[in-house]
Amino acid sequence: MAQTVLVVGGAGAQGIPIVQALSSDPKYAVRVLTRNPDSETAKELLALPNVSIATGDASNEADLRKAFQGVDLAFVNTNSFALGIRAEIYWGMRIFDIAVQSGVKHYIWSALEDALTLSGYDEACRVGHYEGKSRVTEWMKSKPQTPMKWSVLTTGPYIEMLHELLRPTKLDDGTWVFQFPLKDGAVPFVHLDDVGRAVKWILDTPEESAGLNVKISIEHASGEQVASAFTAVTGQPARYESVPATQWLKDSPPGPPSYKMGSQYEGNTPDDPTLLTVEQNFSNWWNLYQRSAGNTGLLKTDYAFLDRVIPGRVKSVREWMEKVQYTGERRFVIKSYSGN
Ligand SMILES: NC(=O)c1ccc[n+]([C@@H]2O[C@H](COP(=O)([O-])OP(=O)(O)OC[C@H]3O[C@@H](n4cnc5c(N)ncnc54)[C@H](OP(=O)(O)O)[C@@H]3O)[C@@H](O)[C@H]2O)c1
């Protein structure tokens, strides 16, 4: 009989390829937790084999208990931007408890790196969504592998953001310019399809994956590498320009710079002192990547391990651009931008 996998966040950008990867294997029946079962995304997921929808909110105890009924395996991606740091830590721990109580056998927490610790507690690298998720990882490490096995999947910036938040601008002379506050650092981009394959490997291989923190990325890509991959794939001129974070936040912000991330969550107050503004959060986010060049800085990936467990993974920005026929034009990926 198929094992039921609950995917919390399954109708989001990260969750969709996970649902797709698991639904391709009849040994899994996939249940997607979403607040909106009538969305286009939910309908598309329902059209896949062995997929069902559980309606509910990942920060509602009763909804979670209902969604977890009869579940064997789980993948959990909470929404940092909606919750804020404190509520993400609470719900990250609470969902784990509920999974244990529901009889889940193997649980995957979708995490981000512990940027603050890696930087030697430098406030300049304090990134809210990394803090919430990594504190939950650290707490999980104190838990035994019984009665529930657990694994962590640590991701990072989706390369698909080159379609939207990180897309280049085209100058009148036809040159494409990638403007990031990256200096000579590097971004270990993550390809969403490979996230799906990594989750499938973790669930397929519990004897190896239980207790592991699987850190996934394509390659550590500098700004120059992104621009030269673009030219190689499209034949069009491109260059990288490092810009101050203040300029990036003005030209292409992920939200209003003074907006406190998580302030709309009902458990937080609008002026909640535990929340970071978009400006604080994303300036520090770039600081982290400025210090991560060449897989020798703050953030490191074991690429040999990834090559073994995800054979056929996308290994370079150039390979990804070829795969998706990248043009630099806008395409919607992140749900909060597209409204789907
Ligand atoms: N963008 C990146 O490059 C990146 C990289 C690594 C990790 N992440 C992490 O991924 C998480 C976001 O997931 P995603 O990338 O899949 O984003 P997304 O496409 O915007 O999807 C948002 C997801 O969050 C859920 N959600 C729950 N409560 C929500 C609320 N109040 N408002 C909006 N959405 C809510 C949505 O569920 P419904 O189906 O109910 O709408 C949906 O599954 C964040 O925690 C972020 O830190 C992002």
Per-residue pLDDT tens digits for 24-69: 999 999 999 999 999 999 999 999 999 999 999 999 999 999 999 9
Mean pLDDT of 97-109: 99
Mean pLDDT of 299-303: 98
Domains belonging to the chain, first-starting first, are 3-324 (3.40.50.720)
Q: Is 262 in the pocket of ligand 1 (CB under 6 A)?
A: no
The first and second tokens of residue 159, run together, are 């390369």
- At residue 338 the predicted structure's pLDDT band, cuts being 50, 70 and 90, is low
* Cβ-contact 35, 57 below 8 angstroms: yes
The first and second tokens of residue 237, run together, are 């001129």
Mean pLDDT of the chain: 97
Specify the DSSP class assigned to residue 173.
Answer: T
Cα→Cα distances 176→50, 153, 168, 190, 316, Å = 43, 34, 6, 22, 20
Preceding peptide of 244 cis, ω within 30°: no
Q: How far is the CA of 296 from the centre of ligand 1 (A)?
A: 29
In sequence order, the β-bridge partners of residue 73 are: 5, 106
Q: Is 58 in the pocket of ligand 1 (CB under 6 A)?
A: yes
What is the length of the chain? Answer: 340
Specify the DSSP class assigned to residue 181.
Answer: S
* pLDDT tens, residue by residue, 227-277: 999 999 999 999 999 999 999 999 988 999 999 999 999 999 988 999 999
Q: How far is the CA of 13 from the centre of ligand 1 (A)?
A: 7
Q: What is the pTM of this model?
A: 0.98
Q: Is 79 in the pocket of ligand 1 (CB under 6 A)?
A: yes
Q: Is 84 in the pocket of ligand 1 (CB under 6 A)?
A: no
Cα→Cα distances 252→195, 257, 334, Å = 26, 10, 15
Long-range CB contacts (within 8 A, 24+) of 333-337: 333/13, 333/158, 333/160, 333/161, 333/163, 333/164, 333/192, 334/12, 334/13, 334/158, 334/161, 334/164, 334/165, 335/11, 335/12, 335/13, 335/41, 336/81, 337/164, 337/165
Q: Is 181 in the pocket of ligand 1 (CB under 6 A)?
A: no
Quick one: which atom of ligand 1 is closest to the CA of 16? 16
pLDDT exceeds cutoff 90 at 336: no
Q: Is 81 in the pocket of ligand 1 (CB under 6 A)?
A: yes
CA distance 282 to 123: 13
In this structure, which amino acid lies at residue 77? Answer: N
CA distance 186 to 331: 23
CA distance 164 to 335: 11
Q: Is 309 helix (H, G, I), strand (E, B) or coil?
A: helix
Quick one: which atom of ligand 1 is closest to the CA of 15? 16
Predicted pLDDT at 27: 98
Helices (H), 112-167: 115-118, 128-140
Predicted pLDDT at 337: 57
Q: Is 15 in the pocket of ligand 1 (CB under 6 A)?
A: yes
* pLDDT tens, residue by residue, 197-226: 999 999 999 999 999 999 999 999 999 999
* HSE value, Cβ hemisphere, 13 Å, CA-based, for 117: 10
In sequence order, the β-bridge partners of residue 5 are: 30, 73
Mean pLDDT of 124-128: 98
The string of DSSP letters for 235-258 reads: ---EEEEE--HHHHHHHS-SS-TT
Predicted pLDDT at 271: 86
Quick one: which atom of ligand 1 is closest to the CA of 9? 43
* HSE value, Cβ hemisphere, 13 Å, CA-based, for 16: 16
Share of the chain above pLDDT 90, in %: 96
CA distance 337 to 325: 21
Q: How far is the CA of 31 from the centre of ligand 1 (A)?
A: 17
